[in-house]
Every structure is written in C-alpha cells, then in structure tokens.
Chains A and B, each alone.
Chain A
Amino acid sequence: MRVTVRLFARLRDLAGAGELVREVPDAATVQTVWTALTSEMPSLAQYEGSMSVAVNAEYARMAVALHDGDEVAFLPPVSGG
C-alpha cells in the first residue's frame, strides 16, 4: 500500500522535501514508516526521542496501524505562539 509522508520545519529541511510518497507493507505502522525513512535518511533519526506523530491530521502513536492512502506526519518539537 501507499502512504503520504509529511515532514515539517527542520525535519523537512533535513529531508529536503515536505511531502513524500512511500510504498509500505500492508501491516505497516507509523513505526514501520519511520524506520524506513531513517534508514533512507539517517540524519532524521536525531528526532526519534523528541518528535510527535500524526495520522490523517490527528495526533497518533508509533504503534498505530496504517491504511492505504493514509497521511503520516512527523513533527519536531513545536514553537508556535
């Protein structure tokens, strides 16, 4: 199945793109996508302990199962206001 990956702020800069499309196994979770991304782009891994994740624009956890067409977002610590 296919998912859209959204990256923001410094994660976007590190990846060189804010939106990527990736083919993942049917049983993929958010963790599966993150693991594949960080092996592709090791510099992203520094955010492992500080980022948040979202699926289809709702906050989610790494263990959440994904479905075809889902949008998975990886979010650095926020700094709004």
Chain B
Amino acid sequence: MPRVSVTAAPLELDTLIRELTTGARGDGAVATFTGLVRAQNQGRQVQFLEYEAYDALAVRALERIVTEAEAQWPGTRLGLHHRTGRLDIGDASIIIVAVSPHRPAGFAACRYAIERVKQIVPIWKREYFDGGDVWLEGATADPDDESARQAAYKTACA
C-alpha cells in the first residue's frame, strides 16, 4: 500500500497503520486523524458530498506534505489517503497516520498534515444540501507560500 493515495475506494485506517508500523524501530506513538463527512455545514443540512481531484497533482501535493512533515519532525513517518467520489454522512474522506518516537511529534505532524491538505492539495468538494448544491472553495493553492506553511506549523504546535 502506498504512503499517499487519492482513491475512490473506502479508506482503510488499519491497513495504513500496519504499513507505517511494519518494521517499526521501537517507536513510541501512532497518532491518527480521520476526517468524516459532517451532517451540518454553515447552517445547511448536508445530504452528501462529491469530491473531485486533480489526481496526478494531488498525489504530488500529498507527497510534498509527507516530505515537509518528516523534515519538520525527524523520525516521524507519515501517510495520507484521501477519498474521492460521492461520500455520505459519516464516511471518511481522509485518513492521516503519523508514527513517531514520541507523542508530541505524532500529534503535531497529523495536525500539520490536515492543515496543509486544506492549503495545497487540489481536491474539491461539492456539497449537496437540502435546497441545492454548492462547490466549496477554501484556499488558493500555493505550495511556495511560506506564510501559509508557517500558519499550518503554528496551528500544529499550538
């Protein structure tokens, strides 16, 4: 299983954890983050989400986040899988696993990774809600924007 992926298939947290902990060298922590489709968003009753990705670039952006996090927290190994297609309430849209020598690095790397995903990974969600649908739009993706990267780092270490 690859460390990063963009896939229409259901996400498998246990498999990703196993991938990252196989041959573990005495690490002390596995931290994970799973993002779920919420029932409510900005006062709207959500029916389901449709995720779309620029797959080739999204995989590269996820790999970049892994590289950044592993450089920031030496000894940490990170994996990220993002799902695409139609997702219903409660479905997992993203899983992040950080294996690290100690828990502070693991928690921080997970938080950093999800913040960076929201900044630079070319994936979009279309929300279908009671009464209509709308493309959600967040950050203008710019991996070279150092102030955005610093903001993600500060959030991760808050």
Contact = CB atoms under 8 A, between A and B. Distances in A.
Contact of B125 (A54, A58, A75, A80): A80
Interface residues of A, number: 21
Given A13-B135, A52-B140, A54-B57, A80 B126 contact: no
A80 B94 contact: yes
Contacts of A59: 57, 141-144
Contact of B35 (A50, A57, A81): A81
A2 to B, nearest CB: 20
A9 B126 contact: yes
Interface of A: 6, 8-10, 12-13, 50-52, 54, 57-59, 73, 75-81
B123 interface: yes
Interface of B: 35, 51-54, 56-58, 60, 82, 93-94, 114, 117-126, 135-144
B52 A8 contact: yes
Contacts of A12: 52
Given A10-B137, A13-B135, A52-B142, A80 B124 contact: yes
B140 A80 contact: no
A75 B124 CA distance: 10
A52 B124 CA distance: 13
Contacts of B57: 54, 57-59, 73
Given A76-B135, A81-B114, 20 more contacts: A8-B52, A9-B135, A50-B137, A57-B57, A59-B142, A73-B54, A76-B137, A77-B137, A77-B138, A78-B119, A78-B137, A79-B123, A79-B124, A79-B136, A79-B137, A80-B53, A80-B94, A80-B123, A81-B118, A81-B123
A9 B50 CA distance: 10
B124 A78 contact: yes
Given A79-B138, A80-B82, A81-B94, A57 B54 contact: yes
Contacts of A81: 35, 93-94, 114, 117-118, 123
A78 B120 contact: yes
Nearest to A77: B137
From B53, B93, B122, name the one whose CB has the most chain A CB atoms within 10 angstroms: B122
B117 A80 contact: yes
